[in-house]
Amino acid sequence: MSAVLEVTDIKKSFGGIHAVNGVSFDVREGEILGLIGPNGCGKSTLFNCILGQLTPSGGEVKLDGQIVTGLRPSELNKLGVSRTFQLLQVFPKLSVRENLILAGQEHQGNMASRLVGRSDAGLTGAANQMIGFFKLDHLADEPAGGLSYGQQKLLDAAMAFMGGPRLVLLDEPAGGVNPSMLADLKERLVAINREKNATFVVIEHNMEFVMSLCSRVMVMAEGKVLAMERPDEVRKNPAVIEAYLGH
Amino acid sequence: MSAFAKPLKIALGLAVIAGLILVPMNFNRYGLFILSQWAVMSIAAMGLNLTLGYAGQVSLAQGAFVGIGAYAAAIMTTHGWPLPAAILVAITLSFAVGWVLGYPALRVQHHYLAFVTLAFSTLAFLVFRNESWLTGGIYGISNIPRPHIFGIATNKPLPFYYVCLGLLAIVSLAVWWLIRSPWGRAFMALRENPLRAQSLGIDTRRYTLMAFAIGSALGGVAGALYAPLTQYIDPVPFNLSLSLDLLMMVIVGGAGFYFGPFLGAMIAVLLPEWLRFTEGYYLMLYAVAVMLLLIWSPTGILGILDRTMAARRTKAASALRAVAKSRLETVQ
């Protein structure tokens, strides 16, 4: 399998703190890669460096072999890289359906056609389909800000898929989501992974979620890669147990 | 209820439009002037509502763009150009200057952005006042002609009021189209969550600049009507207080609501006139009325309406949910 994403020696410091200190890894086409590690080990900073939200102090990011370091988040998204956020990031005053249309509209046509063309950019059907897929039907016309935390998490994930991305970086998708909804979310992620051949990188603290979802797990500690192994190997790795999992 | 809502809205809209066309036929010169001023200020406030209300970019420079449009129209029409040409120039000029003024917004936000635009407002005022070779300086430009539209002279107050109303209608339709388009959605995304917007492929830089440029262009349109309305301009009406007035119109009417600017401009232009019978107290009463309104509803007049409707919707939705739930339980 070829690598969708290749990250080479990424560094990011804030003042004297080396939040990410020379991280290299690759993500294979179609896999679900887990990313775990203690709080403050640099997982989210790494995501932000890959996605252009932060400019790395050093290193290189390649997407399908092309260097994309320094591209803006919107440009990366147009290349098929999407994300969700650790904290809720929806558009509270727009309805659920409008949130989803917004999430896909920049992938349709150009600036001119988005001004003079259809007001939904031809996405109402796709948005309704996504709403059905994530079981948000009864909430389609509600303002997103009025949804429960778990429902907003689902919407956040659904939005990440509207542009038909090849690579999705999910930052703690399971945080604050109740068990039954979590099972739903996992099922959806697996389905999109299989059917659309989308590749995922998932930051998550819920070990059960990570272990059952991911084909490989990368463990970070203090800004560096501690291990990159199969889930069952990670569980037994003494260094990982010491740094993160605990005895 | 919702089955009646749409025809009711259309009927109400048609009644308002008919009223705006028919009722002023009996107005005197002064009444028509005030109403024309309302139309002009509505256009300018609609522009600011786009920049501030929809796209969330604070601007204290809208008055300066009204000035730019007014001077462009005054200079051109006193040199024999027709008003439509002057309006096009006013739009182009304010759009271009507004685009450039948008660049600071890519770096600073909120109060800081307000200060940047405030400085621009002062700069524009100084240009209007000091560059007398172009603007006539403190003496201003007088004898600004009113246009002939399809061969009809609009010198008299009533025909010119219809010019203002017609342009207000065109601008209203254009803005309505814009905010319903994906652009409008992207503007709201800038306001609600720029970080998330970026990660969804929304080019926040381009949309921010566009929000500034289009909003400013509408300020220019308003100015290009203001000049032939008053037929005399000098720098004073375009100082910072006009920008603050326009900001107040947007906030009082309800920022981010389509009809906000119309209401806000109505209050700012008409309320002082209605309160004139109180003589010396009318400006004070006006100030108190605005303060009370904003304490009661920080989201403006339309904010009150929106909250009532939302409360009603929630009630209806929870009733529906209760029904759905009981049905589910029956099935189980």
Contact criterion met (CB < 8 Å) for A115 and B317: no
Q: Give Cα separations from B25 to A103, A195, B29, B152, B169 (angstroms).
A: 49, 67, 10, 17, 18
**Is 50 exceeded by the pLDDT of residue A212?**
yes
Per residue in B119-161, pLDDT (tens digit) is 999 999 999 999 999 999 999 999 999 998 888 889 899 999 9
Rounded distance between C-alpha atoms, residue A192 and residue A195, angstroms:
5
Residue of B nearest to A104 (CA): B200
Contact criterion met (CB < 8 Å) for A162 and B189: no
**Is 90 exceeded by the pLDDT of residue B208?**
yes
**Is 80 exceeded by the pLDDT of residue B178?**
yes
Question: Other CB atoms closer than 10 Å to residue A215's CB: what's the count?
Answer: 14
Q: What DSSP element (H or E) covers A8?
A: strand A3-14
Task: Please report the residues numbered 289 through 318 in chain B whose beta carbons come closer than 8 angstroms to any beta carbon of chain A.
Answer: 314, 317
Question: Residues 6 or more apart from A103 whose CB is under 8 A from it?
Answer: A158, A159, A160, A162, A163, B200
Residue of B nearest to A86 (CA): B196
Rounded distance between C-alpha atoms, residue B94 and residue B89, angstroms:
8
The total number of structural domains in chain A stands at: 1
Per residue in A73-94, pLDDT (tens digit) is 999 999 999 999 988 789 999 9
Query: CB contact, 8 Å: B32 with chain A?
Result: no
Give A-chain residues touching B197 at CB under 8 angstroms. 74, 102
Query: CB contact, 8 Å: B207 with chain A?
Result: no
pLDDT at site B3: 52
Per residue in A5-18, pLDDT (tens digit) is 999 999 999 988 99
Q: Give Cα separations from A216 to A38, B95, B110 (angstroms).
A: 18, 53, 44
Per residue in A158-191, pLDDT (tens digit) is 999 999 999 999 999 988 888 888 888 899 999 9
Q: Please tell me the distance in Å from A39's CA to the nearest CA on chain B.
A: 22
Query: What is the dihedral angle through the alpha carbons of B120, B123, B129, B134, rounded to the nearest 10 degrees?
Result: -90
**What is the band of B332 on the pLDDT scale with cuts at 50, 70, 90?**
very low
Which of A53, A91, A111 lies nearest to residue B193, judging by beta carbons? A91
Q: Give Cα separations from B191 to A29, A135, A160, A175, A192 (angstroms).
A: 36, 28, 19, 26, 31
Contact criterion met (CB < 8 Å) for B182 and A115: yes
Alpha-carbon dihedral sign for residues B44, B49, B55, B61: positive
Closest to B122 (Cα-Cα) out of B239, B269, B297: B239
Give A-chain residues touching B314 at CB under 8 angstroms. 146
Rounded distance between C-alpha atoms, residue B253 and residue B245, angstroms:
12
Give A-chain residues touching B299 at CB under 8 angstroms. none
Q: What is the DSSP letter of B279?
A: G
Contact criterion met (CB < 8 Å) for B183 and A114: yes
B187, B198, B199: best to mutate for the A interface, most A CBs within 10 A: B199
Classify residue A70 as left (phi > 0), alpha (psi -120 to 50) or beta.
left
Which of B181, B201, B321 lies nearest to residue A106, judging by beta carbons? B201
ipTM of the shown complex: 0.92
Which of A77, A93, A94 lies nearest to residue B200, judging by beta carbons? A77
Give A-chain residues touching B50 at CB under 8 angstroms. none
Residue A203 CA to its chain's centroid (Å): 8
Whether B181 contacts B217, CB under 8 Å: no
Question: At residue A71, what is the residue type?
Answer: L
Which of A102, A111, A119 lies nearest to residue B200, judging by beta carbons? A102
**Is 70 exceeded by the pLDDT of residue B19?**
yes
Contact criterion met (CB < 8 Å) for B324 and A138: yes
Average pLDDT, chain B: 91
Contact criterion met (CB < 8 Å) for A77 and B180: no
Question: What is chain B's alpha carbon radius of gyration, rounded to the nearest angstrom?
Answer: 22
Per residue in B68-88, pLDDT (tens digit) is 999 999 999 999 999 999 999
Contact criterion met (CB < 8 Å) for B186 and A105: yes
Whether B196 contacts A88, CB under 8 Å: no
Per residue in B250-305, pLDDT (tens digit) is 999 999 999 999 999 999 998 888 888 887 787 788 888 888 988 888 888 898 88
Give B-chain residues touching A85 at CB under 8 angstroms. 195-196, 199
Rounded distance between C-alpha atoms, residue B234 and residue B129, angstroms:
8
Q: Please tell me the distance in Å from B314's CA to the nearest CA on chain A.
A: 9
Query: CB contact, 8 Å: B206 with chain A?
Result: yes
Return the residue matching tokens 């006193």.
Answer: B78
Q: What is the mean pLDDT of residues A126-146?
A: 93
Domain edges within chain B: 27-239
Pairs of CB atoms within 8 A across A/B? 92
Residue of B nearest to A88 (CA): B196
Q: Please tell me the distance in Å from B312's CA to the nearest CA on chain A.
A: 13
Which of B192, B195, B197 lies nearest to residue A92, judging by beta carbons? B192
Query: CB contact, 8 Å: B106 with chain A?
Result: no
The pTM score is 0.91
pLDDT at site B325: 64
**Is 70 exceeded by the pLDDT of residue A138?**
yes
Residue of A nearest to B187 (CA): A102
Residue A195 burial by CB count (10 A; 0-12/13-18/19+): exposed, middle or buried?
Answer: exposed
pLDDT at site A129: 95
* Residue A42: domain span: 3-245
Q: Please tell me the distance in Å from B111's CA to the nearest CA on chain A.
A: 22
* HSE-CB for A178 with a 13 A CA cutoff: 6
Q: What DSSP element (H or E) covers B29?
A: helix B29-48
Query: CB contact, 8 Å: B2 with chain A?
Result: no
Rounded distance between C-alpha atoms, residue B102 and residue B259, angstroms:
25
**Is 90 exceeded by the pLDDT of residue B322?**
no
Tokens of B234: 């000098």
CATH number at residue A66: 3.40.50.300
Q: What DSSP element (H or E) covers A7?
A: strand A3-14
Contact criterion met (CB < 8 Å) for A94 and B188: yes
Rounded distance between C-alpha atoms, residue A158 and residue A133, angstroms:
9
Residue of A nearest to B175 (CA): A115
**Is 50 exceeded by the pLDDT of residue B1?**
no
Rounded distance between C-alpha atoms, residue B208 and residue B211, angstroms:
5
